[in-house]
Amino acid sequence: MEAIVHHIDYGVTVEQIAETKARYAALTCDTTAGYEQTRIAIGECRTTRTAIENRRKELKADALEYGRRVDSTAKMLTAAIEEIEEPLKLKKHAVDEAKKLAKEAAERAKREALEAELRAAREAEETRLRAAREEEERRLAEEKVRQEAEAARLREERAAIEADRRYMAEQARLAQEAAAAERTKLDAARRETERLENERLAREAAAEQARVDAERRQAEKEAAELRAAEHTRKLEAMRPDREKLAAFASALRAVLAPDVLSADARELLGVALSDIASIAGELEAFGS
């Protein structure tokens, strides 16, 4: 076989391939320079192998027997060069695979860190929104209690005013009954002396009637003035609250409705806005 190699010129010898093998055997891909040298060595082996194949085809064209010798020599030379090329390719593949795995691990770690950051931000926002919602619910509950207490106080004040009105009406009725009783008494006395002092008693009765009427009118006037003064006092006492309630009603009317999309949300929002308007009207009408 060596004789065949000597008689067939492939442009490369077994000795040269052995020298190449010895020269490249120690190459590694652990460093950038080593990686580059390995890549160049693979390219050189590939070039030599391709040249051998091309020469084989050229030599084989002369004769079949000669072609068999050419093929045998090419196979031997190719196997020899592949003994150099394949280990180098395996070394390069190992480094390429390690780089690929390292890159994928770095990208995976980066993606996981980003996902963790987004998850933490989302959880923090959910916590903030939940706290804000709980605070708003607490504020609304306190406001409801305050409004109910205010409504109860207003009912008590209206009840007191109504009681005062009934008291004044009762006093007026008693005054009228007393005046009527007095008139009855005077009439009885007048009848007893009617024959003797008919004309005088008639004048006195008319004068007495006028006096009683004047007293009644005075009493009614005083009662009306008292009621008016009491009502004015009540209104003045309620004026700070009326102003606060009016300001609160204005604030309620100024509340901006959120922009909602679903039909259910719009329906609920409409009911809420109607209730707010009704409450604002009641607040504005307080004490009027």
pLDDT per residue rounded down to tens, the chain (288 residues): 444 444 578 888 899 889 988 888 888 888 999 899 999 989 999 998 998 988 888 877 766 667 677 778 888 888 887 888 888 888 888 888 888 888 888 888 888 888 888 888 888 888 888 888 888 888 899 888 888 888 888 888 888 888 888 888 888 888 888 888 888 887 777 777 778 888 877 788 888 888 888 889 898 988 888 888 887 888 777 888 888 888 988 888 888 888 888 989 899 988 988 998 999 899 888 866
pTM of the model: 0.31
167 in any annotated domain = no
253 in any annotated domain = no
Say if residues 89 and 46 touch (Cβ distance below 8 Å): no
Taking the C-alpha atoms of residue 4 and residue 280, their distance in angstroms, rounded to an integer, is 113
24 in any annotated domain = yes
32 in any annotated domain = yes
DSSP letters along 214-245, please? Answer: HHHHHHHHHHHHHHHHHHHHHHHHHHHHHHHH
Task: Report angle CA 145, 150, 156 to the nearest 5 degrees.
Answer: 130
Taking the C-alpha atoms of residue 116 and residue 34, their distance in angstroms, rounded to an integer, is 39
Q: What is the dihedral angle through the alpha carbons of 70, 73, 76, 80, rounded to the nearest 10 degrees?
A: -110
Helix (H) or strand (E) segment spanning residue 35: helix 32-60
Domains contained in the chain, number: 1
DSSP letters along 238-256, please? Answer: HHHHHHHHHHHHHHHHTPP
250 in any annotated domain = no
189 in any annotated domain = no
86 in any annotated domain = yes
95 vs 27, 29, 36, CA distance in Å? Answer: 13, 6, 12
Taking the C-alpha atoms of residue 182 and residue 138, their distance in angstroms, rounded to an integer, is 66
Domain enclosing residue 17, as ranges: 2-115
DSSP state, 262?
S
Q: What is the CA radius of gyration of the chain?
A: 59
224 in any annotated domain = no
Residue 24 half-sphere exposure, CB side, CA atoms within 13 Å? 28
